[in-house]
Structure 1
Amino acid sequence: MLSINYKSRTFTDQPYNKITQAIGTAITGIAMASTAFSIQADDSIENIDALEVITISHQRHGLEEHSAIAKGSTSVPDLANWLASVPGANINRNGPVTGIAQYRGLFGDRVATTIDGHPIIGAGPNAMDTPLSYSTPLIVDALTVYRGVAPVSAALDTLGGAVQVNMRKAEISQQQQLDITGDLQLGFRSNNEAETGAGVINLGRGELGAMLFANVQQADDMETGDGKDISPTEFQKRQFGGDFRFDNGEENIGLTYHYLDTQDSGTPALPMDIEYIFSHRVSLDGGFSLANWQLNWQLGYLDADHKMTNFLLRQNNNPMRHRRNHAESETIDVKFSAEQTFSFGDLTLGIDGYFAEHDSFITNPNNVMFFVNNFNQVEDNRYGIFAELVTKLANSEVSYGLRLKRAEADAGNVSTSMAAMPMPAMLLNRFNSADRSVSETDIDLAINSETRLTENLSLSAGVGMKTRAPSYQERYLWLPMEATAGLADGRTYIGNINLNSEQAYQLDLGVNYLDQQLSISPHIFYQRIDDYIQGTPLPMSEMAARMVAQMMAGDANPLQFANVDAELYGLDVNWQYKLSEHWQISGIASYVRGERRDIDDELYRIAPFNGQMTVSYQGNDFTTNLTLVAVASQNKVSKTNLEQASSGYGLVNLDAQYFVSTSLTIKAGIDNLLDKDYRSHLSGYNRVQGSDIPAGQRVPGEGVSAWLEARYSF
């Protein structure tokens, strides 16, 4: 079941241009000032944590775990839905299996999403295979979100925050007899007739352990609250793999293999749907002690093969407009860290990086002569070194982090069957003659503190300077297209090889209160981003790109990725109040505003003010939750992206869980109990012709849906 753990940690951020030394000095001052004003408390400060994390765990059930509250179905095709429980977090959905993490208004590549510490670099240039789609809830131990300024050790690029997925690992029994445990899960959802079957088995003996898992999911199209078909939103997804581990207490080593097979899955907010995604992910990891240092290492490999079409799952009556895009990627990632406790604090040193290659080739099955070499032998290599120190100052704990990183990118020559046409030929020749080899060297800083004021009250503060080098789509999209890593704004873009890295100055302040009945943690934040990468109107002098965009996509106003200036600010809060031994009420609320600083405009796809409140009952073998979701209208929209305003809405969800025994659990619920017809501001616009939903309107949310799950543990 799902358990949401709120752990106090916050950070503070300086939005000024006097950077490195100024930020370091200012943060130290913040930490010392908070210590100077702290009030002595009776409790030890050992429990104070400088970094605030929110962990959503998928625990194996048993009567001893009834104190955790499960909210909603776990038979979902990816992990994105879990983010709805995190203050400040949200989900950009372009389809049922394409959940893109959003945190405090930033999304996509800006939010570092890792699985067991490995960066997940998908094959799709339009983020159909998002990082959160590379797992499934039954084989996940926990999903962790760093609240505020993420530590530099969390991932390479954490400008927009960090989401870490920790998978279940093989369990070591340390017993001579063979220990066999496992879980089986079946699920059904009424709205789209979704079916889920999953199983995990663990074998442990002595110092060895092995875990095998399988997960199969399929569904038809969803229906709206007023009975309209949302086509195509069907999906088919299979995952298989295993984890094998050795641990003798002094050293450990593990091997993990994960196979993902996604087929015939709709993405109505994108110009194509998923024909298939095949991926093989292999990782090695280990740890050992040497001269009082704890050394940890990992090596990962991801091979992804992805095809998408605009004619198999959606109506396309023009055979000459049929398109199939075949995208492939390979990624190797490495990480090595060393940790030791000194008298002045806990020190971590590390080296990490990944080396990725991308290819994307577009054809028309009805015209063997047509092709576009969209991305050819694109290299995206990023690596860095980091140091992090956690130390205690009186009633405070302070975390200092510094990362030096380098990004190197290159691309091969491209080609197209349209090279005989003057305008495409101009873009082709310009790209192939350009110097496409670029590199960026950047520095990230993060300083976080938490100060105990009283036994129940603490203050969090964090500041940081974070950077992000441009993505390969932002650099190397040479022909006007919508291969934009899931932006889903319906606009065509071209890239800009000479983009600068984004540089953000971050501030986060929070108050955390906790007693036996009430816990509440409000935070405010501000982030100033120089050289923010955003699509801007093409100059009138770019006639070749304009004419190609009009010819290929009917877009008279294409965009080009450019560096602009932006800022984001807002607040979020999570709280919980225990009414009695069995009843409690909890909730979250989030508000963010994203604006351009160079012109009078809003940032694109920013979540509106939203919140949810849950009334929960927890008995010895029965729990239930009634959740009210409220989302405000959003009229602060991007004129540059021609973004549409959206209306507010409210939803009611109900779920219950019954522990039949220590082995068997039954869960059931109804989502959107009142069958509300609504449209999320983050859902994207319908690109499908001839469906019940008019093209150009926002993709609606799912209507009322009852669901049932059974889980057996042995």
Structure 2
Amino acid sequence: MGYRLRPLAAAVAVLFSGAVAPQFAAAEGAEAKPTVLDDVVVSADKLQPVPVSNTVSPSSIEQMRPATSDTASLLRNIPGVSTYGAGGVSSLPVIRGLADDRIRIKVDGMDLIASCPNHMNPPLSYIDPTNVGTLRVYSGITPVSVGGDSIAGTIIADTLAPIFAAPGQDYLATGQIGGFYRSNGNAWGANIAATAATENISVTYTGSSARADNYKAGGNFKTTTATGRVGHTLPLDEVGSTAYESLNQMLSFAVKGGNHLVEAKFGFQHIPEQLYPNQRMDMLDNEQKTFNLRYLGQFDWGLFEARAYYERVDPHYMDFGPDKRFWYGAASGGPMAGNGAPCSPISANCAAGMPMYTKSSNTGVTVKADVNLDAQNLIRVGGLYQHYTLDDWWPPSGAAMWPGTFDNINDGSRDRLGLFGEWESRLNAQWLTLLGARYERVTTDAGNVRGYDPTTNGMGMMVNDQKKDAAAFNAQDRERTDNNWDLTALARYTPDANSDIEFGVARKVRSPNLYERYTWSTWSMAAVMNNLVGDGNGYFGNINLKPEQAHTVSATWDLHAADRRSELRITPYYTRVTDYIDAIRCPVGASCTPANRTTTNEFVVLQYANQSAVLYGIDVSGRILLASTGVGDFGLTGSLAYTHGKNLDTDDGLYNIMPLNGKLALTHTLGGWNGAVEVVASAAKDDVSDVRNEIKTAGYGLTNLRGSYTWKQVRVDLGVDNLFDKFYSLPLGGAYTGQGSTMMLNGIPWGIAVPGMGRSIYTGVTFKF
């Protein structure tokens, strides 16, 4: 039976429904404001803009850094936001049931794109938690000035703002150095930041590294120790393919003069290894280089910002990692062998892995102006251009991957051209409104493809239809142009100093990504390598996919004390998506058999298809100051989130919808000490996507401890996640494919969900200078 969430839900409801109101008048003092380091960045608005983004506070970022190397996980305390399980630094964010490319993610103003058939290098994986300065989330109804080509919302991650010497100070040298250790998985890492600056020039270097071995669950979750590699086994409680190593560096230059600022940033990331417990492949090399140039100027009429950037990912390399079978073919023992024996030479009977390469380039330009018409009216206008190219190819490795190169996506391109206009107006002391429209033209294309052997479709048990599928794909006109319109209307009513009501409607549109449109092979062995969601199934694309169109209505009731040390936010929402990109059991092709269309307990091959969907739910969050005493301040924080997703065409559940979940924490602060005891709980996930044979998960409750102490320039963090070492399955972790003969569609067991981490003790130390 699933863990029942009612005690947590009741606690949150009782806590914030009755106890928060008296605190509005009684709370004293104000929360510390962040220091403004840059006098060129000026905001003319005295009130919060519409809508208010959910911002991860600097103190929360500092608290979570020692416990994670995954920037997306820093969003875990925002209600309605969760993450798909993936690699150790690369989980995929979800906003109210909509994930990955349905969210616009900007990193230092750059629209980054995952360049991988398994989305192993998503945008937030390119910024280390130790280098995050600000992290904001716009959920659902997003201003057109920060939205575009997305239907779920927008995540904005920025590195720290440049630091300059104070007026009259000749020279400034500052920085910090830190490190962490986590017991489960033997994870450790270090980071450094150093700045040299005058009043007008600033130079900053940041660097970080993180690495970990496989982690252990809170108990045994599988029935075999075999990995597919001779002489290598894994304990029954060890989650295979969860190790990683990541290296990040950035060099930043900034110059300011008067009301003008110019920044240039050069970034480099190298991930030598990031293994995946819910994908058939592992990422064994990934290099990203970025150049990012920004101008910001303040004028009498308002602000102007312009940015140009270039990103290159090359190489991105995947193959079977150390916990998965590497040798295939008759000479290695055949498909039924538990372990693949090494063989040679590489031939039709001997395969050495299945190498897969990707390279991409991403060039973008954005401009934006905030024009103050008068004291009550602000106009925002702007535009963007983005040119993205992608090549995805698989060199021959023997056996069925022979004798030539397989073109997964050849000469792929995706171009965006966007324009927006937005009007924010203060009607009177109580009413603030925002209206906006955005147009985007998205053009995609891809070149001709071929299979490993373009002369045959295979035979017998090895039918693969490579020749047939490639010919059908190549015969089509593959260029597609989408003309997308976003519209947003929002209003906020402020009846008094302790409450706000915000409500609105929006239309948002997203065009398909290149993998959804242009992957072409119905062969199961190729299809399972094209999987963006980690469910163990195989996927291939659909050139005729239409853009997704989402219509959302939501409202937020915000009750708060003047200093916001006590507050309650309640947000119900409803979204209907036309041409939602879901999946169907493939109708025609090498793997589209009667068994594939009907099985309920195996992995299957699917094709992307437009259907209709609805998502609705509610987010609740709040905090309350319980007492200010001689031994510190005591408070409670809590959140509750519920989302329901349904395919209206098939009456099926949508994939990977986070079930009812919540958090409740007792906090304590005293001087430099900050500590908390936290309970995290989730209901069972039993409303699943049947077309995908999605795996159900049981409910659970976990207890976490965390604390930090800051003394002068030194900060020490210490915590325990999953204090009682409970076993649980990740509701959004996907299917466990972390060991064994993962190349074959059903060469590994179906029905095992990726488990969460068992008890982990962590510590971190930071020294500022």
* Aligned mate of 1:605, from 640, 650, 656: 656
Offset of residue 418 of structure 1: 2.4
2: distance between equivalents of 1:298 and 1:284? 6
Residues 214 and 238 in structure 2, CA contact (< 8 A), matched pair in contact too: yes
The structural deviation recorded for 1:97 is 2.1
| Aligned twin of 2:339 | none
Task: Please name the residue that 1:447 is paired with.
Answer: 489
- 1: CA distance between counterparts of 2:594 and 2:405? 15
- Contact 1:77/1:133 (CA < 8 Å) preserved in 2? no
Of the candidates 125, 138, 143, which is equivalent to residue 146 of structure 1?
138
Aligned to 1:136: 128
Contact 1:404 1:443 in 2 (8 A): yes
- Segment drifting more, 92-101 vs 463-472: 92-101
Structure 2: distance between partners of 1:400 and 1:392: 12
Deviation per CA, 1:75-101, whole angstroms, max 9, x where unpaired? 522211111110100000122122101
1:147-162 correspondence runs (5 A): 147-162=139-154
Greater mean deviation of Cα atoms: 253-262 or 317-326: 317-326
Q: Which amino acid aligns with 1:378?
A: G
Deviation at 1:487, TM superposition (A): 1.2
Residue 51 (1) aligns with residue 47 (2): no
Which segment is superposed worse, 491-500 or 167-176? 167-176
State how far apart, in whole Å, the 2-side matches of 1:364 and 1:669 are: 48
**1:354 and 2:386 equivalent?**
yes
Aligned to 2:568: 520
Please point out which of 344, 362, 373 is paired with 1:331. 362
Shift of 1:407: 0.4
How much does 1:496 deviate? Answer: 1.0
Aligned-pair CA distance for 1:143: 0.7
Local SS of the residue matching 1:333: strand
2:435 aligns to what SS in structure 1?
A: strand
Q: Alpha-carbon deviations, 1:268-323, whole Å to 9, x = none?
A: 10110010110101100002246724221001111002001025442344253721
Change in 2 beyond 3 A, CA 1:701/1:359: same
Partner residue in 2 for 1:219: 212
Please give the per-residue CA displacement for 1:408-446, whole angstroms capped at 9, x wherever unaligned.
001011112222223221111111111011100010011
| Structure 2 residue 310 is matched with structure 1 residue 301 | yes
Structure 1 residues 571-621: Cα deviation after superposition (integer angstroms, max 9, x where no partner) = 011100100121010011100000011121110111111010111000012
CA distance in 2, matches of 1:324, 1:441: 37
Q: Name the structure 1 match of 2:406.
A: 372
Name 2:192's counterpart in structure 1: 199
1:121-176 Cα deviation digits (max 9, x unpaired):
13212110111110112211111011331111113223111110011133122445
Q: 1:508 to 1:57 in 2, by over 3 A?
A: same
Q: Is the 8 A contact 1:474 1:484 kept in 2?
A: no
CA RMSD of aligned residues (A): 2.2
Q: Output the CA distance in 1 between the equivalents of 2:552 and 2:435.
A: 14
Residue 170 of structure 1 corresponds to which residue in structure 2? 162
CA contact (8 A) 2:307 2:365 kept: yes
Q: In the alignment, is the contact (CA less than 8 A) between 2:140 and 2:151 conserved in 1?
A: no
**Deviation digits for residues 102-131 of structure 1, max 9, x if unmatched?**
000000100111112211113212110111
8 Å Cα contact 2:178/2:764 also seen in 1: yes
| CA shift digits 1:19-57 (9 cap, x unpaired) | xxxxxxxxxxxxxxxxxxxxxxxxxx9535421211114
User: Aligned AA for 1:410?
Assistant: D
Amino acid at match of 1:583: F
Q: Which residue in the other structure is 1:269 paired with?
A: 278
Q: 1:557 to 1:223 in 2, by over 3 A?
A: closer
How far apart in 2 are the matches of 1:148 and 1:443? 16
Partner-residue secondary structure (3-state), 1:231: coil
CA distance in 2, matches of 1:70, 1:475: 40
Q: Secondary structure at the match of 1:77?
A: coil
Aligned twin of 2:502: 460
Distance 1:696 1:487, change over 3 A: same
Q: Is 2:557 aligned against 1:507?
A: no
Task: Specify whether residues 346 and 74 from structure 1 end up closer, same or farther in structure 2 by C-alpha distance, changes over 3 A only.
Answer: farther
Question: How far apart, CA to CA, are the structure 2 residues paired with 1:527 and 1:595?
Answer: 11
Distance in 1, Cα, partners of 2:612 & 2:690: 16
Match of 2:763 in 1: 708
Q: How does 1:245-324 map to 2 (within 5 A)?
A: 245-289=254-298, 292-305=301-314, 306-318=316-328, 320=351, 322-324=353-355
Aligned twin of 1:39? none
Q: Which amino acid aligns with 1:217?
A: A
Q: Read off the aligned partner of 1:346 and give its amino acid letter.
A: L
> What corresponds to 1:120 in structure 2?
112
> Where does the alignment leave 5 or more consecutive residues of structure 2 unmatched?
1-44, 221-236, 329-349, 458-464, 742-747
Task: Write the letter of the residue equivalent to 1:337.
Answer: K
Count of residues paired in the alignment: 655
CA contact (8 A) 1:125 1:485 kept: yes
Using the alignment, how far apart are the partners of 1:288 and 1:557 within structure 2? 54
Alignment of 1:676-695 (within 5 A): 676-690=726-740
1:563 counterpart = 2:605: no
Shift of 1:456: 1.2
1:182 to 175, 185, 202: 175
Is the CA contact (8 Å cut-off) linking 1:473 and 1:483 kept in structure 2?
no
Distance in 1, matches of 2:406 and 2:208, equals 36
Partner residue of 2:69? Answer: 77
8 Å Cα contact 1:688/1:695 also seen in 2: no
Q: Which amino acid letter does the alignment assign opposite residue 456 of structure 1?
A: N
Q: Tell me, in whole angstroms, the C-alpha distance in 2 between the residues paired with 1:555 and 1:579.
A: 51
**Which is strand-richer, 1 or 2?**
1
Give me the whole-angstrom Cα distance separating, in 2, the residues matched to 1:252 and 1:518. Answer: 37
- Identify unmatched segments of 5+ residues in structure 1: 1-44, 60-67
Question: Percentage identity across aligned positions?
Answer: 26
* Whole-angstrom CA distance in 2 between matches of 1:417 and 1:125: 17
**1:533 CA displacement:** 0.7
Q: Displacement, 1:226?
A: 1.9
Distance 2:70 2:514 in 1: 25
SS of residue paired to 1:429: helix
1:578 aligns with 2:578: no
User: Compared with structure 1, are the counterparts of its residues 346 and 453 closer, same or farther at alpha carbon in structure 2 (3 Å cutoff)?
Assistant: same
Q: Distance in 1 between matches of 2:556 and 2:487?
A: 19
> What residue identity is the alignment partner of 1:108?
D
User: What is the CA distance between 1:70 and its match in structure 2?
Assistant: 5.6
Task: Report how far residue 452 of structure 1 moved.
Answer: 0.7
Whichever residue aligns with residue 239 of structure 2, its letter is: I
Q: Compared with structure 1, are the counterparts of its residues 195 and 563 closer, same or farther at alpha carbon in structure 2 (3 Å cutoff)?
A: same
CA spacing shift, 1:543–1:279, aligned 2, 3 Å: closer
CA contact (8 A) 2:301 2:373 kept: no
Contact map agreement 1:321 1:364 (CA 8 A) in 2: no
Match of 2:440 in 1: 405
**Aligned: 1:241 with 2:241:** no
1:458 is aligned with what amino acid?
D
- Give the whole-Å Cα distance in 2 for the aligned partners of 1:470 and 1:147: 20
Q: Specify whether residues 549 and 211 from structure 1 end up closer, same or farther in structure 2 by C-alpha distance, changes over 3 A only.
A: farther
Closer/same/farther in 2, CA of residues 371 and 622 from structure 1, 3 Å limit:
same
Say which of 517, 520, 526 aligns to 1:475: 517
Conserved in 2, the CA contact under 8 Å of 1:509 and 1:523?
Answer: yes
Name the aligned partner's letter for residue 55 of structure 2.
T
CA distance in structure 2 between the partners assigned to 1:371 and 1:379 by the alignment = 20
For normalisation by structure 1, the TM-score amounts to: 0.88
Partners of 2:61 and 2:74 in 1: CA distance: 13
- Which of the residues 575, 583, 596 maps onto 1:535? 583
Q: Deviations over 1:601-643 (max 9, x none)?
A: 1101111110101110000121111110011001110111111
Conserved 8 A contact 2:274-2:283: yes
Is 1:491 matched with 2:525? no
Letter aligned with residue 420 of structure 2: F
Q: Distance in 1 between matches of 2:52 and 2:388?
A: 31
Paired residues of 1:122 and 1:304 also in contact (CA < 8 A): no
Matches within 5 A, 1:76-95: 76-95=68-87
